[in-house]
A and B are shown apart, each in its own frame.
Chain A
């Protein structure tokens, strides 16, 4: 096991003994590849998961048709998808992005659905009393009402996205931080393993913090109420 001092020296060395430090381009290339995969997968999960969750929560018939299938696929562990993902996509990026997308998609959609279901029934009734059409209810009640849960879902989704990304990269990648952890292990570059791990921790934290920031921006009423209470 490398000591922390050793790791830190390696991490900040202009000429690292094992090839990876903040002064090497390769380091940033691995980070960029991983970040790009997460960005693509997370955007897809957001773009598909949130609308699906909203529709499932809002329209009973739609939920009755889609939710059973959804609940059948959701519990399949992400690692069980690996072989199929590799078979499904010929490209190198495909399987990893797909695995990352899949896990964050389920987290996003499910939390969005729960968010719609959490809305006080009287708010729907009030909206109807005030003359809302279904479209108005969707826009003014369903979407803002589900928003707190959506953002909880997105935080979870971001967490599982990094988890699945690393799993995917370890098995099917040729770049990226997960690949780096694994390849450093097989090539006996122990400080590099830890450098890659810390880096994953940092980018993971940064991405969650960004989501929180956007959430607070979009839901200022909550921030204000909490600080007033």
Chain B
């Protein structure tokens, strides 16, 4: 069951390559193509250092690409003649280590985007923020500072801060990395609830396979550096999902498929790492 959102947020990555050194021996991403339908929760899985984050950063506009093109809703974000996309509120990133502004309260963090873009007045933004916070179970934290929150709460606040901008795509870069399993599973359900309610396209990066299947509508497996898409796998588990699907046969079948695809790559990445160490 695919969430529909009026066809907003279709992302098209076509033959994107990225090399960090201009001379060009070290490819981070090599001829990478992904099509993400509007409203899809697309998960990219791959071993550490395979270029997942590079791809996300290119979409977000944090750095340039060396070749290829990226479109959002048929509009060119970056490509020939415009190597770097302009960062904007149509593609909001939730960062791996969290990037709430520590000196702003939760409410100030969430209202920052709409107010700075002059899309809403302060009062409108506050009302909207309170509503979204309530939906995400964050009521009562308005005046807390990020440093006072648990990592799970902080991440939820960051997702809400992104959502109030009504982005076309939400870009999540391993947002639940380093959380304990219990917190993680709560975060997963909370993200799915947010996804089902907001029908926003999500581009989600992880190296946790269980997480990928539990959350994703479709999974792209990335090869080890230089990163390419090796295989795309549809996840036909109906939504809304809860933790019970983790023990279903469908889930296990997918698990085997994805592990098969990822394992070789992880092995290669591991060996490459060993070589670099030696």
Contact = CB atoms under 8 A, between A and B. Distances in A.
Interface string B152-174: 00000000011001000000000
A72 interface: no
Interface residues of B, number: 29
Given A136-B116, A140-B112, A126 B99 contact: yes
Contacts of A224: 145, 147-148
Given A131-B117, A144-B103, A221-B103, A122 B91 contact: no
Given A130-B165, A228-B147, A229-B147, A122 B97 contact: yes
B10 interface: no
Given A136-B116, A140-B112, A228-B147, A129 B60 contact: yes
B87 A125 contact: yes
Given A122-B95, A123-B101, A147-B103, A129 B145 contact: no
A130 B60 contact: no
Nearest to B93: A129
Contacts of B91: 129
B178 interface: no
Nearest to B167: A129
Given A131-B116, A221-B104, 11 more contacts: A123-B99, A125-B93, A126-B101, A129-B87, A129-B88, A130-B89, A130-B92, A144-B103, A219-B103, A225-B102, A225-B148
Contacts of A132: 116
A14 interface: no
Nearest to A224: B145
Contacts of B89: 129-131
Size category of the binding interface on chain A: 20 to 34
Contacts of A127: 101
Interface string B97-121: 1111111110000001100110000
B243 interface: no
A64 interface: no
30 contacts: A123-B99, A123-B101, A125-B87, A125-B93, A126-B93, A126-B95, A126-B100, A128-B88, A129-B60, A129-B91, A129-B162, A130-B89, A130-B92, A130-B113, A130-B165, A131-B89, A131-B116, A131-B117, A136-B116, A140-B112, A140-B116, A141-B101, A145-B103, A219-B103, A221-B145, A222-B147, A224-B145, A225-B145, A228-B148, A229-B147
Given A144-B103, A221-B102, A129 B92 contact: yes
Interface in A128-153: 128-133, 136, 140-141, 144-145, 147
Contacts of A130: 89, 92, 112-113, 116-117, 161, 165
A120 interface: yes
A132 B88 CA distance: 8
Contacts, number: 75
Secondary structure of the A side of the interface?
A: helix
A145 B202 CA distance: 30
Interface in B247-264: none
B62 interface: yes
A122 B100 CA distance: 9
B96 to A, nearest CB: 8
Nearest to A143: B103
A225 B146 CA distance: 9
B231 to A, nearest CB: 30
Given A120-B99, A123-B99, A128 B87 contact: yes
Contacts of A128: 61, 87-88
A224 B105 CA distance: 11
A225 B99 contact: no
Nearest to B164: A130
Q: Which of A122, A147, A229 has the most CB of B within 10 A?
A: A122
Contacts of A123: 99, 101
Interface string B113-131: 1001100000000000000
